[in-house]
């Protein structure tokens, strides 16, 4: 079978698997990995959970470790354009051939009595590939929750919980306390925990879990903090160190807080004899890229891509629009999934924009634009419905003057389809000279 055909066939089979399965436990992923010879054994892991900022923290840690001379794996989700993006080695996504190889290996492993979910299958592929390519470190982002997430099969050196808010209630629980207990499930015996949670009740829950596991607990605002400088740099006032005049390569004021979690993790890792120099840490922060999160395409009109997939992310995006694009009329292209607080998200973004185009990404969990229309119309008079993301983007480009801006947001799936549109139709983008 031709490599491209084999690649497409294995992805088609995987996408046919059940999407979720978080309440089904870890027995299936355990059996798959046993069938693969437990490829995760011998790898040093960093486990990252939370509601927002997981990818930013995970990718920056992977970049810093790679610059420090380590062979580093990175596992994140979802992907934007290609499945391969989920599994990276030294900041490069694995090849199509590697995808097929790891797929065939996992397919041949014993699943037991239940077919694996898509995420379980993907996680097994990542761990197999990390073992096969002999990574020293692997930074692994949870898919959803933590306690029964397929990634919780790993034994990390350090656990990071970025922040916690209400999400995925059908799988994680109806209250913030229930969700905190699920995400806190990644805390392991004697494994240090770094977190950016702010709520008192959530902090208390995570502290209790950490105490029961004899795990050191470092919270942003208590054990470490940051001070922003007027020139765009920030100072990190850490657990034991103070590092000044740092910059992060990721756009947005909230990325400084994410960087603080990364720096705290670096401090804790260095306590455990990991060799991360201050220069490598500084360079890693500056060089780190994380597509689809306040990603700017310098075009005419300017195009801003941001997943903004929940209320906190939408609020962060709205702050950026106010601070940096208030001098432009903005066309908002937005699509939202059905498990998100779409009303509050729209109320964050729509009033800041001149025109709104409601769309729908190609995923079964996407809300029909007609559901979004009444709320958007109350906030802005100029609202169109274009169900196809590709067509919505083309309309936005056709109707937005060159000196203005287009913001594509609401879901990482919308952003992914947008990036795919720009790859297929580069003529749509009028590059600035």
pLDDT tens by residue, 86-108: 999 999 999 999 999 999 999 99
Q: pLDDT per residue over 105-138, tens digit each?
A: 999 997 777 889 999 999 999 999 999 999 999 9
CATH 3.40.1190.10 fits 3-287, yes or no: yes
Domains 3-287 and 295-428 share a fold: no
Mean pLDDT for the chain overall: 93
Three-state secondary structure call for residue 349: helix
Is the peptide bond preceding residue 173 cis, with omega within 30 degrees of 0? no
Q: 285, exposed or middle or buried, with CB in 10 Å at 0-12, 13-18, 19+?
A: buried
Three-state secondary structure call for residue 430: coil
Q: pLDDT per residue over 229-268, tens digit each?
A: 999 999 999 999 999 999 999 999 999 999 999 999 999 9
**168 — pLDDT class (breaks 50, 70, 90):** low
> What region, left, alpha or beta, does residue 28 occupy, with left being phi > 0 and alpha being psi -120 to 50 degrees?
alpha
Tell me, which fold does domain 295-428 have in CATH?
A: 3.90.190
* Distance, CA of 316 to CA of 335 (rounded, Å): 17
* Distance, CA of 182 to CA of 137 (rounded, Å): 25
Question: What residue ranges do the domains of the chain occupy?
Answer: 3-287, 295-428
Three-state secondary structure call for residue 393: helix
């Amino acid at each position: 079978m031709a490599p491209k055909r084999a690649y497409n066939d294995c992805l088609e089979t995987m996408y046919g698997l059940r999407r979720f399965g978080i309440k089904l436990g870890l027995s299936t992923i355990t059996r798959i990995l046993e069938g693969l010879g437990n490829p995760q054994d011998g790898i040093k892991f960093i486990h990252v959970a939370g509601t927002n900022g997981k990818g930013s923290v995970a990718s920056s840690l992977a970049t810093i470790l790679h610059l420090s001379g380590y062979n580093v794996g990175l596992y994140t989700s979802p992907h934007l354009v290609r499945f391969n993006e989920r599994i990276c080695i030294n900041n490069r996504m694995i090849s199509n051939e590697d995808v097929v190889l790891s797929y065939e290996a996992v397919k041949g492993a014993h699943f037991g009595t239940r077919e694996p979910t898509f995420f379980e299958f993907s996680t097994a592929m990542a761990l197999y590939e990390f073992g096969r390519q002999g990574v020293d470190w692997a930074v692994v982002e949870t898919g959803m929750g933590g306690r029964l997430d397929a990634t919780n099969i790993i034994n990390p050196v350090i656990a990071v919980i970025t922040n916690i808010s209400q999400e995925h209630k059908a799988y994680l629980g109806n209250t913030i306390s229930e969700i905190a207990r699920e995400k806190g499930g990644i805390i392991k015996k004697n494994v240090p925990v770094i977190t950016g949670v702010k709520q008192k009740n959530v902090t208390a829950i995570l502290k209790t879990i950490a105490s029961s596991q004899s795990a050191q607990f470092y919270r942003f605002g208590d054990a470490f903090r940051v001070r922003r400088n007027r020139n765009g740099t920030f100072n990190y006032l850490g657990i034991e160190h103070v590092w000044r005049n740092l910059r992060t390569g990721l756009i947005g004021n909230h990325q400084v807080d994410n960087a603080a979690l990364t720096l705290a993790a670096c401090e804790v890792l260095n306590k455990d004899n990991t060799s991360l120099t201050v220069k490598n840490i500084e360079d890693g922060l500056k060089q780190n890229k994380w597509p689809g999160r306040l990603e700017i395409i310098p075009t005419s009109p300017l195009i801003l891509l941001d997943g903004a997939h929940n209320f906190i992310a939408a609020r962060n995006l709205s702050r950026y629009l106010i601070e940096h694009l208030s001098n432009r009329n903005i066309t908002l292209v937005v699509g939202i999934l059905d498990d998100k607080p779409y009303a509050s998200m729209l109320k964050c973004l729509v009033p800041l924009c001149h025109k709104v185009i409601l769309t729908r990404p190609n995923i079964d969990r996407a809300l029909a634009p007609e559901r979004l229309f009444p709320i958007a119309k109350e906030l802005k008079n100029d609202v169109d419905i274009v169900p196809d993301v590709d067509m919505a983007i083309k309309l936005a480009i056709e109707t937005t003057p060159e000196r203005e801006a287009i913001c594509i947001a609401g879901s990482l799936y919308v952003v992914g389809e947008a990036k795919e549109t720009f790859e297929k139709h580069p003529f749509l983008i009028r590059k600035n000279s």
